[in-house]
Amino acid sequence: MRSSPRCLAKTRNGTPCMSPAVKGKHRCRMHGGAKGTGAPKGNQNALKHGAYTRESQEFFNEIRELLRSCSDTLLQLQNDELPRKNTNRKRRSGRD
Ligand SMILES: [Zn+2]
């Protein structure tokens, strides 16, 4: 399958490897995509400020979603208010 993601590791020729990448990874099995490669989950060997930890990323995603829903609500409120100003609703006279 040509459409499958390819390994772009640089070979000794200087060309990209182009072998099929391991599922869920960006590299082929020869270039670091193999099972068991990479740091174990939760390892903090390279932790400096924690801004890119899974936890803080999830936190920021939540904040982002919250902000988006807030702005959506605000937009909806604005859109609801605009036509109300322009439409002449029939006033109830109360003498019917
Ligand atoms: Zn490769």
What's the gap in Å between 70 CA and the centre of ligand 1? 44
**pLDDT, tens only, 81-91:** 766 655 566 66
**pLDDT, tens only, 39-64:** 888 888 989 999 988 899 999 999 99
Domain ranges of the chain: 1-34, 47-85
What's the gap in Å between 53 CA and the centre of ligand 1? 27
pTM of the predicted model as reported, rounded to 2 decimal places: 0.46
Nearest Cα to 8, choosing from 35, 26, 30, 34? Answer: 26
Q: Is 44 helix (H, G, I), strand (E, B) or coil?
A: coil
What's the gap in Å between 73 CA and the centre of ligand 1? 47
